[in-house]
Amino acid sequence: MPRRLRGAAYQGFYRLPHPVRRRIVRLIAPKYLVGAVCIVRDSDAREPGRLLLLRQPPGRGWGLPAGLLKKGEAPEVGAARELHEESGVRIAPDELTPAVPNAIVHPKGWVDTVFMGTVPASTTELVVDGGEVLEAVWFPLDDLPRLTPNTALVLGVYGIGPRAAEQTPSASS
């Protein structure tokens, strides 16, 4: 598109009322679901450490505490909420550390915001509901079980697990 025509299109767009502009953008722009993920380590464990993983139905692999954010919910609040709902582990949102990179854009249309946390496994009770989560277990980092593909991808971005050596170009900070 020639420069002048593109400039005129932008000027016309910005003259439209804000609600109309927002509707146009929502029709044209890609849509993403936004989730929050917690990578929780055992603060008592010796190196290489232990990681909290969950087995969810259908139970073919182990995953991280995670879920979709509620509308208007801050990512760290959603991460803390999902962690507690799925495992019984409580970490205050301000005690979670944003991972670097903090967001992972998945090719299938969702974005995960990722947070790190630690708790002492020896004094932290794991509680699961048996419906959404079948099991919660601490695993040694050097002996992880079979992971779900998305969990392997997320952990790999942070140098953990079977995909640790891979570079994920879709990760962004």
Q: What is the pTM of this model?
A: 0.80
Helices (H), 29-95: 75-87
Structure tokens at 35: 């989730």
pLDDT digits (tens, 9 = 90+) for 56-92: 988 789 999 999 999 899 999 999 999 999 999 999 9
Helix (H, G, I), strand (E, B) or coil at 120: coil
Predicted pLDDT at 1: 57
Which helix (DSSP H) or strand (DSSP E) does residue 52 occupy? strand 50-55
Which CATH architecture is the domain 33-172 placed in? Alpha-Beta Complex (3.90)
Neighbours of 172 (CB within 10 A): 11
- CA separation, residue 156 to residues 89, 108, 171 (Å): 23, 18, 11
Predicted pLDDT at 170: 46
Domain limits of the chain?
1-30, 33-172
Q: Return the C-alpha torsion angle 55, 129, 78, 167, nearest 10.
A: 0
pLDDT digits (tens, 9 = 90+) for 51-64: 999 999 887 899 99
Strand-pair category, 110-119 with 33-42:
parallel
Please report which confidence band the pLDDT of residue 10 belongs to, taking 50, 70 and 90 as the band edges.
Answer: low
